[in-house]
Structures are given as C-alpha cells and as structure tokens.
Structure 1
Amino acid sequence: MRPAEELRYLILAAQREGNRLLLQALRPLGITPSQAEVIRVLQDHQPLALNSLGDLLVCETGNSPSRLVDRLTSAGLVNRQISAHDRRHVELTLTEEGRHLAGQIATIEDDLYRSIDAAVEGRDTDQITGFLRAFVADMPAGQALARRTGV
C-alpha cells in the first residue's frame, strides 16, 4: 500500500470510529452527530440565518441544512423565526430544551475529546493538524471549519 493510500484509509478509519463513538454516546439523547453539530453551532453562533448555519456545518457541506433544522424544529429544539423585514430570511435559535440539550452534547463531546487527548498524549499533533488543515483548506468542509474556528 502506498503512503497516500494508507493515509487516506487511516483518516477514514479514524473518522468512522470517532463518529461511531459519538453516535453511541448521543443515542440516549435521541439525536445524531449531524443534529448535534447543528445544535452546537447554534449554541455558539445564534441567532443564525439558515444559509449562515449551512456555511458553518462540516456534516452537511454543499447541502442545505433544511432537513436537519426541520427535524430539530419538530422536536422542539430549534425556533424558526421569519424576519419581519424579509420573508425569505429565516432566523434560527435554540429553544430552552435545545439549550439544555446543547449542554449535554458539550459534555459528551468533552468526554470524546478527553479520550482523543489521552490517545495522543506525548505526541506532537501540530504537524498532523497543520497538514490536515492545509489538505482541506480549499474544500467545502475545510472552509466551513475555518469559518467556525477563525483559522
């Protein structure tokens, strides 16, 4: 296996395993990792227009987050408010229940990050992080992440 191929599969394997762990941890809350990302982005950036939310999501790059928001609205976690000035502009905020759930999601994410921290303890991650940031910089998911982190 050539190095680039191995790197590709290692990244894919790490992403799948991380997503599997996150899915398991979120299951009792009744939400998916993509829904959790929407909730956490709203927690950090609300109020947000629907298209602005889409610009910050890594899970749904290139797609409108409308379906995710519809499910979260139906579940009573997100409010959709149509602007009085422009009916095409929909502003999103978390409901009280959504804010409570965001705190639970943050705790689950912190647990996941602690396990990742433990796995990389004693290793210099700056090079791999720099490489991955540069690798995805011109791609939609990388751009969404850069908008969220300001990096």
Structure 2
Amino acid sequence: MRSAEELRYLILAAQREGNRLLGQALRPLGITPSQAEVLRILQDRRSLTLNGLGDLLICESGNSPSRLVDRLASAGLVDRQVSAHDRRHVEVTLTAEGLRLAGQIAAIEEGLYEFIDAASEGHDLEQITGFLRAFVADLPAGQALARRSTTE
C-alpha cells in the first residue's frame, strides 16, 4: 500500500471511529453527531440564519441544514423564525431545552477530546494538524472549519 493510500484510510478510519464513539455517547440523549454539531454551533453563536449555519457545518458541508434543523425544531430544541419580508431568511436559535442539551453535549465532547489527548500523547499534534489544515484548506469542509475558527 502506498503512503498516500494508507494516509487516506487512516484519516477515514479515525473519522469513523471518532464519530462512532461520539454517536455512542450521544445515544442516551437521543441525538446524532450531526444534530449535536448544530446545537453546539448555536450554543456558541446564539442565533444564525439557516444559510449562516450551513456555512459553519462540517458534518453536512455543502448541503442545506434544513432537514437537521427541522428535526431539531420538531424535538423542541431549536426555534425557526421566518422573516416577514423574505421567506428565504430563516433565523435559528436554541430553545431552553436545546441550550440545556447543548451543555450536556459539550461535556460529552470534552470526554472525547480527553480520549484524543491521551491517545496523542508523545506525538507532534502541531505537525499533524498543520498538514490536515493544509490538506483541506481549499475544500468545502476545510473552509467551513476555517470560518468557525475565525468567528468563535
């Protein structure tokens, strides 16, 4: 196996395992990792347009977050306010229950980050993250991550 192929599969394996671990931890809350990402972004930003939210998502990069937001609204976790002047302008905010759940998600994420910290001990994370940042810089998910980093 050539190095580039191994790297591709290692990145894919790490992403799948990280998402599996996160999914298992979130399951008791009744939400998916993609839904959790929406709640955490809204917790950080307080209020976003549907398009603005879509610009920050990594899990659904390039796709409209409408279905995710619809499911979260049905569960009473987010409010959607459609502008009276422009139906395309939809403002999304957390409900009190959504804010409470976002706090629980943050604690679960912290546990995952501690697991990653322990697994990466003794490795040069600056070099790894630098390479990955450069690798995705011009791609939609990399651009969404850069927007999140600069607006937090």
* TM-score > 0.5 by shorter chain: yes
Identity rate, percent: 79
Number of matched residues? 151
Structure 1 residue 68 corresponds to structure 2 residue 61:
no
CA distance in 1, matches of 2:108, 2:92: 23
For residue 29 of structure 1, what is the aligned residue in structure 2? 29
Give how far 1:150 is off: 1.6
Unaligned runs of 5+ in 1: none
Whole-angstrom CA distance in 1 between matches of 2:24 and 2:65:
23
Partners of 1:22 and 1:118 in 2: CA distance: 16
1:109 equivalent in alignment to 2:99? no
Measure the CA separation in 1 of the matches of 2:88 and 2:118. Answer: 46
TM-score of the two chains, using structure 1 as the length reference = 0.97
Per-residue CA distance 1:31-52 (angstroms, 9 max, x = gap):
0000000000111112100000
Separation of aligned partners in 2, 1:52 and 1:30: 25
Secondary structure at the counterpart of residue 93 of structure 1: strand
**Displacement after TM superposition at 1:62 (Å):** 1.1
- 1:99 paired residue number: 99
- In 1, the alpha carbon distance for the partners of 2:79 and 2:24 equals 27
Q: 51-60 or 85-94, which moves further after superposition?
A: 85-94
How far apart, CA to CA, are the structure 2 residues paired with 1:108 and 1:140?
26
Deviation sequence 1:107-136 (CA, Å, 0-9, x none): 000000000000111221111100000000
In the other structure, the counterpart of 1:139 is 139
The runs of 4+ residues in structure 1 deviating greater than 3 Å are: none
SS at match of 2:124: coil
